[in-house]
Structure 1
Amino acid sequence: MATKSKFTLNPKPTFKKKVPLPVPGDGFENVEFTFKHRSRDDYKEFLDGLKDRTDDVELLMDVASGWELEDSFDADNVGRLVQGYVGSARAVLGAYIDELSKAREGN
């Protein structure tokens, strides 16, 4: 009897990934984010539009839908994150792109 594969042709709408966020004086702290999945075409369109996007809060709200922090995942708290931890937006976006790029390697 063959075992069932966990792989399906319909990807989950979200995925989780720990992101090392830079903490001045303390190195990095891993925070798990819940990211939004994008199809190959949607991902390409997203990447093509990155050069025109300057609002880090809006960008992070577009790629993620949650985090493991006690603070709610909303625009105000994402704003607190990017204001308080320089480099955090880049770290989150980089992790998102890396994770979806890995997924694309299989295509």
Structure 2
Amino acid sequence: MAKFKLAVAPTFKAKVGIPVHGGETVELSFEFKHRTRDQLSELMKGIEKRKDVELMEDVLAGWELDDPFNKESIDLLCQNFVGAPREILGTYITEITQARRGN
């Protein structure tokens, strides 16, 4: 019997390289919300007009940080590490579309 199932878990984890001042990148594990193709398409509509904190709340379900996972902490992440939202969203899209999967 195949181990493949059409029903998927509501969340998945992936590591994201967060750019840190001074040229470093720190790899952190984030928990992301699963979306269907249609739900992802809806999320992407008007994405450029949305605030980073809103997008992060829409795609993230948790993280490995000691800081609590809440709107205030997400805002602090976005404010202090300006490149983080782009990296998180990029990883999310890559993972959800399986873009890194090989042949």
TM-score of the superposed pair, with normalisation by structure 2 = 0.89
Matched with 1:100 is 96
Q: Distance in 2 between matches of 1:6 and 1:25?
A: 44
Bigger helix fraction: 1
TM-score of the superposed pair, with normalisation by structure 1 = 0.86
Stretches (4+) displaced over 4 A:
none
Matched with 1:31 is 28
Query: Unpaired runs of 5+ in structure 2?
Result: none
**The structure with more radius of gyration:** 1
What is the deviation of 1:45? Answer: 1.2
Q: Please give the residue correspondences for 1:1-107 in structure 2 after superposition, counting only pairs within 5 Å.
A: 4-53=1-50, 55-102=51-98
Amino acid at match of 1:79: D
Percent identity between matched residues is 45
The alignment covers a number of residue pairs equal to 100
Amino acid at match of 2:2: S
**Most deviating of 23-32 and 60-69:** 23-32
SS of structure 2 residue aligned to 1:5:
coil
